[in-house]
A and B are shown apart, each in its own frame.
Chain A
């Protein structure tokens, strides 16, 4: 559960970058939307840390674990973005060849 909260936060952070926003959403996000998403992502990361501190015997241990989990979550997010980008590449090729589906 704690890991999923962090993963969601990291995916939201990925959404706020120009390149990955184009990968994860079909429409470009406005700067205001990106700002809101970034805020939610940081709140979720704070929630994750709070939950870890509550579950751990020591705040220092929880902080170390949270930092380590962030790395793994970021790796997962990067893999998800890469797979989605690869998955969408043939679609964009089709779109280029046959025009928009709409």
Chain B
């Protein structure tokens, strides 16, 4: 039993990795980028030049604009302005369906700001994969569980865990790929395990719905109310009534929340006598999310309900979810999440590459050729396609209709084209070509960040230059290797 255990785990590690690897690569890369979700949105809005804003004033302006222009919407959802994101992000429904736009912090209007999903695209893609509910989430959940399985089997399969802790021997073919894979896996192992486990837990209710089904028997409203007792739901009365002065409501909420401030606002049934305003506190002082909620009666501004989460089971879930999304994270921690995310992306990439390198000396089967081609398309193509999202955001005219949707369609068109290119082109030529394209796209992102007046543009340019340099190095190495062969 003991003699067969490690080989069995190695087999499981290889196959679970190769089956879910490409999906995981895209999920992890988009998740890594969404660490800087508000900053990406800000980068894609060059019109937003204000460095600081008054969050309450920005919220009042947004509510005033929504009252005038989106009164028919059944609800409004707002993410309040913060020093990281000096704009209000609003979600409401109009004649074209639901829309999400950043609102100007002074006028409260989306006019003059380009229609873009910004960082929300990476955040949503990370767990929804641009697929309809629940398919994207199901796939992401399966990928998270597979990542956890691959990590655990990888730890068992890795024979010299501590002896090879700092070992990387470049220029030695398969040995170098294995060294890189082991090194990237070991040095950030706590992060890898944490992010895979919390990712799987976040989507667990999709896979294990039976406790909720047994308890609530399809009464989702009752379940939501138990999960958040302060979230009041009441049907529209049909009698018009304006919202109470919003500054007073904001002031009351700020007093109750203290230094964490207001993070999110939901206005249900706006303009109706049954309007309810629900405010959620920020979570900058705790890892867990959504710990304090207050609901106000819309027309009067009176507090309807207040809830501070202290139930152990829900607090545990909130902490695990909070660890995954890192909303609590101060600046340094956020950068560490980003670097660790890149390490995990590289870990998956080296693992996929290792699978083909280790089989290169044997007779080439169709499966090896297929994996090799898909590797080029995904490992080199995904960063190129994601970089193109930034470029398209700056290139498309600001006033274009359905601009946000067009940006996203461009990403998938470019990604698809690169996958087709990698499938048709010989692998040894496709690697340096697509890597060079990724490097060029990143360099162009750095140029498009000009004139680098805002901190977000300067930081974006520096990261883009570093990535461009990495892709150039990788392209050069793969092209040199081809020449030697």
- The chain A residues found within 8 Å of chain B, CB to CB, are 13-14, 17-20, 57-58, 60-61, 64-65, 67-72, 74-75, 77-79, 81-82, 85-86
Q: Indicate which residue in A13, A19, A58, A68 contacts B167 across the interface (CB closer than 8 Å).
A: A19
Taking A68-B191, A71-B188 as contacts, is the C-beta distance between A14 and B165 under 8 angstroms?
A: yes
Pick the contact of B339: A17, A68, A82 (CB < 8 A). Answer: A68
Contacts of A85 in B (CB 8 A): 169
- Is A71 a contact of B187 with CB atoms below 8 Å? yes
Contact B330–A75 (Cβ < 8 Å): no
Within 180-194 of B, Cβ neighbours of A (below 8 Å) are at 183, 186-188, 190-191
CA distance A17 to B333 in the complex (A): 29
- CB contact under 8 A between A58 and B285, given known A65-B332, A75-B343, A78-B166: yes
B residues with CB within 8 A of A: 162-170, 183, 186-188, 190-191, 285-287, 323, 328-330, 332-333, 336-337, 339-340, 343
Contact B191 A74 (CB under 8 A): no
Chain A residues with CB under 8 Å of B340's CB are 68, 71
- Of B163, B166, B186, B287, most buried by chain A (CB within 10 Å of CB) is B166
Q: How far is the CB of B167 from chain A (nearest CB, A)?
A: 6
Q: Name 13 interchain pairs, CB-CB below 8 A, sorted by A.
A: A14-B165, A17-B164, A61-B333, A64-B323, A65-B336, A69-B336, A71-B339, A72-B336, A74-B165, A74-B187, A78-B168, A81-B166, A81-B167
The docked-state distance in angstroms from the alpha carbon of A64 to that of B166 is: 22
Contact in complex: B339, A13 (CB < 8 Å): no
Task: Kindly list chain B residues whose C-beta atoms are within 8 Å of the C-beta of A86.
Answer: 170
CA distance A74 to B182 in the complex (A): 13
Q: How far is the CA of A18 from the CA of B340 in the complex (A)?
A: 27
User: Using Cβ atoms and an 8 Å threshold, which residues of chain B touch A20?
Assistant: 166-167
Closest 5 CB pairs of A and B: A68-B336, A74-B187, A71-B188, A78-B166, A14-B166
The verdict on A60 contacting B287 (CB below 8 Å), with A19-B163, A68-B340 known, is: yes
Which of the residues A57, A69, A82 comes within 8 Å of B168, measured between beta carbons?
A: A82
